[in-house]
């Protein structure tokens, strides 16, 4: 719906002649001149933010005979073809890389959701000696920048014999301290009374956690899941350090490899990047509400 | 040791179960964050290499840094990155947030679209821009069409750094826009109306009403973006290549850490010392921004 609406003011007659008037969030009318200027600016920013992706898509669809360096540039492929997508798969095993990324991202979602929900519940709802120390440990872990410990993580991984494995890619971030603290805050906001009632009814701590507390924090859990997936799918520095064998590469490392080895054919690199970014854009389009909620919540807590 | 807020009945439970709940998280945080942090500190005083255990060498690594041209190049570039990127990321997303704040038809589409670069992997974003800024790429062919001629965005040391900064800003815009959007929704409309009644124009209202109202958010954005900018790795690595551009002049500090500490001949000790510098500067930047905030409040 919104896609249809966005083009209307540019071409439509003045809003007064339309049945529907454009109003702001307070129900006040927005002047036509201001509205036109707004849409003009919005479209300009749209071109700047989304344009580069479309240019990449267009490049990936251009055939081998088409000049991709022409000046002035041609924005639409003259003879669109999917050849580059099959050719990129012949050059590097891009679908294997995508599968590796999917494995890593899925594992990261499962471990982060389970681990941070459990730990968050322990920090928020259970009483025991050392609870404050445990909370402090997670706060400290959140404050340490990954970039400053990456070599030591690499050494630790090697000592565990997990270098160059997907398990090694997943492990360091598999339960993010930030996620634990997010879950803790979510559990803290739940009223105690329901759990107390369940306790009186004889529910043990696991039952209270699984049946009562967890279903009430689904929103935060979704935020954790989305960011865990995105973080793992997009990560570059850590997989770059830990993976050395091209057959184990994730998509981001594979793309960098593709770019380094076959920089002379932009069509292939473009096809590779489209393969890498398309699933995320689809995921994002479906779940954008949670994205924005997540960023907003993060900002309030930051 | 127990917090006073919890009802007493919930307190009764098996003594072991809280630790079962927290154990996986604590194990990961301990083994892969806190332990590596401590061992980074310890290793920074040794000459440890990838396959050779280190000996204690005191401050030798830090002394070596002072004479290491690459260290100064890395520090310079990371610092320049902060100076170049942070002002843009504090101001531009605020303007963008004002643009998408009003609920006009189709605005959710624009908000999501502006957020797309945030979602895309930095590798994808880097490669897209390498292609855009290529000697024969889109930007240059547009420049040539309008008669400016081609510019070596990726071959000149300074233009390369500037291009990488542009990419960082481009990718960060949407993220900080949402943070500002949340802050703007808390600004009372009456303030704007009162200022408008007093005859203040849009620019004046922005400076006298909006900016003071979102000032603490600006500080937060400044802190977040400066810490992130100082640790920049991927953008420059992708655009300049693993060796950091012409003669390594575009190497950043984290790129140097990665290059020094990995591989079979990796100098883990020296890389750890460099990591300590990254950590110290990061913390210092945080404190600096937060302190500047407090000082301003006192005035």
Distance CA(B211)–CA(A241), nearest Å, equals 42
> Angle at the Cα of A223 (from A217 to A229), degrees rounded to 5?
130
Q: What is the mean pLDDT of chain A?
A: 86
Distance CA(A237)–CA(A249), nearest Å, equals 13
User: What are the chain A neighbours of B216 within 8 Å (beta carbons)?
Assistant: none
Residue A4 binned pLDDT confidence (cut-offs 50, 70, 90): very low
Q: Do A151 and B132 touch (CB under 8 A)?
A: no
Nearest to A122 among B22, B100, B104 (CB): B22
Q: In this structure, what token pair is assigned to residue B134?
A: 């290529």
What Å distances lie between residue A184 and A117, A142, A177, CA to CA?
A: 8, 14, 10
Q: Give the residue from chain B lying closest to A298, CA to CA.
A: B179
pTM: 0.88
Nearest to B99 among A2, A41, A119 (CB): A41
Closest CA to A299 of B182, B201, B198, B269: B182
| Mutation choice for B interface testing from A19, A129, A147 by most B CBs within 10 A | A147
Q: What is the mean pLDDT of chain B?
A: 90
The predicted model gives A80-92 an average pLDDT of: 90
Q: Is A97 on the interface with B (CB under 8 A)?
A: no
Distance CA(B240)–CA(A256), nearest Å, equals 12
Q: Is A291 on the interface with B (CB under 8 A)?
A: yes
Nearest to B268 among A155, A260, A295 (CB): A155
Q: Is A273 on the interface with B (CB under 8 A)?
A: yes
| Mutation choice for B interface testing from A155, A213, A289, A292 by most B CBs within 10 A | A155
Q: Is A14 on the interface with B (CB under 8 A)?
A: no
ipTM of the complex: 0.89
Residue B12 binned pLDDT confidence (cut-offs 50, 70, 90): low
Residue tagged 């408008």 (tokens): B196
Q: How far is B90 from chain A (nearest CA, A)?
A: 14
Residue tagged 């954005």 (tokens): B221
Q: In this structure, what token pair is assigned to residue B94?
A: 């605020």
Q: Confirm if B28 and A116 have CB atoms less than 8 A apart.
A: no
The predicted model gives B13-30 an average pLDDT of: 84
Nearby residues of A80 by Cβ (< 8 Å), 6 or more positions away: A61, A62, A63
Neighbour count for residue A103 (Cβ, 10 Å): 16
Neighbour count for residue A11 (Cβ, 10 Å): 6
Q: Is the pLDDT of residue A13 over 50?
A: no
- How much is the pLDDT for B54? 87
Q: How far is B146 from chain A (nearest CA, A)?
A: 9
Residue tagged 């279903």 (tokens): A215
Q: Confirm if A247 and A160 have CB atoms less than 8 A apart.
A: no
Distance CA(B155)–CA(B268), nearest Å, equals 31
Q: Confirm if A198 and A211 have CB atoms less than 8 A apart.
A: yes
Q: Is A110 exposed, middle or buried (0-12, 13-18, 19+ CB in 10 A)?
A: middle
Return left, alpha or beta for A23; rule: phi > 0 is left, psi -120 to 50 is alpha, else beta.
beta
Q: Tens digit of pLDDT for each residue in A227-255?
A: 999 999 999 999 999 999 999 999 999 99
User: What are the chain B neighbours of A152 within 8 Å (beta carbons)?
Assistant: 35-37, 39-40, 43, 272, 275
- How much is the pLDDT for A193? 84
Nearest to A149 among B99, B145, B275 (CB): B275
Q: Tens digit of pLDDT for each residue in A121-137?
A: 999 988 888 889 999 99
Q: Do B268 and A73 touch (CB under 8 A)?
A: no
Beta bridge partners of A146: none
């Amino acid at each position: 719906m919104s896609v249809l609406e966005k083009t209307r003011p540019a071409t439509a007659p003045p809003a007064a002649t339309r049945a529907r008037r454009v109003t702001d969030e307070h129900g006040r009318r927005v002047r036509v001149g201001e509205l036109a200027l707004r849409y003009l600016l919005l479209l300009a920013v749209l071109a700047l933010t989304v344009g580069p992706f479309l240019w990449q898509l267009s490049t990936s669809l251009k055939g081998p005979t088409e000049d991709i360096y022409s000046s002035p540039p041609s924005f639409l492929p003259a003879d669109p073809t999917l050849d580059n997508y099959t050719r990129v798969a012949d050059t590097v095993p891009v679908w294997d890389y995508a599968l590796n990324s999917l494995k890593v991202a899925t594992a990261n979602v499962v471990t982060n959701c389970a681990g941070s929900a459990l730990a968050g519940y322990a920090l928020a709802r259970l009483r025991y000696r050392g609870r404050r120390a445990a909370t402090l440990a997670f706060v400290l872990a959140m404050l340490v920048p990954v970039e400053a410990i990456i070599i030591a993580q690499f050494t630790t991984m090697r000592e565990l014999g997990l270098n160059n494995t997907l398990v090694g890619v997943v492990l360091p971030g598999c339960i993010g301290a930030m996620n634990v603290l997010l879950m803790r805050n979510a559990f803290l906001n739940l009223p105690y009374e329901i759990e107390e009632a369940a306790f009186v009814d004889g529910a043990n701590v696991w039952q209270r956690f699984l049946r009562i507390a967890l279903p009430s924090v689904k929103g935060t859990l979704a935020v954790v899941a989305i960011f865990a997936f995105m973080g793992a799918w997009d990560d570059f520095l850590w997989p770059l350090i830990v993976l050395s064998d091209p057959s184990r590469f994730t998509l981001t490392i594979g793309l960098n490899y593709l770019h380094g080895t076959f920089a002379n054919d932009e069509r292939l690199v473009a096809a590779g990047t489209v393969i890498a970014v398309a699933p995320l854009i689809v995921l994002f389009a479906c779940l954008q509400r949670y994205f924005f909620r997540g960023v907003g919540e993060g900002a309030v807590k930051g | 040791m127990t917090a006073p807020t919890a009802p007493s009945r919930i307190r009764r439970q098996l003594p072991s179960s809280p630790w079962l709940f927290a154990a996986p998280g604590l194990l990961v945080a301990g083994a892969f964050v806190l332990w590596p942090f401590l061992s980074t500190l310890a290793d920074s005083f040794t000459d440890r290499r990838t396959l050779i255990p280190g000996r204690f060498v005191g401050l030798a690594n830090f002394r070596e840094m002072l004479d290491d041209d690459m260290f100064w190049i890395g520090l310079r570039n990371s610092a320049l990155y902060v100076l170049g990127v942070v002002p843009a990321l504090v101001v531009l997303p605020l303007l963008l947030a004002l643009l998408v704040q009003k609920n006009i038809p189709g605005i959710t589409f624009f908000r999501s679209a502006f957020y797309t670069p945030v979602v895309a992997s930095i590798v994808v974003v880097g490669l897209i821009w390498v292609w855009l800024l290529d000697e024969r790429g889109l930007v240059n062919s547009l420049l040539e069409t309008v008669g400016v001629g081609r510019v070596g965005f990726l071959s000149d040391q300074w233009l390369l750094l500037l291009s990488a900064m542009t990419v960082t800003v481009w990718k960060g815009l949407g993220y900080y826009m949402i943070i500002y959007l949340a802050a703007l929704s808390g600004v009372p409309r009456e303030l704007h109306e009162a200022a408008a009644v007093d005859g203040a124009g849009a620019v004046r209202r922005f400076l006298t009403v909006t900016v003071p109202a979102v000032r603490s958010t600006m500080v937060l954005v400044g802190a977040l973006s400066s810490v992130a900018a100082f640790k920049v790795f991927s953008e420059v690595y992708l655009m300049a290549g693993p060796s950091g551009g012409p003669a390594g002049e575009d190497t950043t500090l984290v790129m140097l850490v990665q290059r020094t500490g990995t591989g079979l001949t990796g100098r883990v000790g020296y890389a750890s010392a460099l990591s300590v510098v990254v950590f110290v500067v990061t913390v210092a930047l945080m404190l600096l921004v937060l302190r500047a905030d407090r000082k301003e409040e006192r005035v």
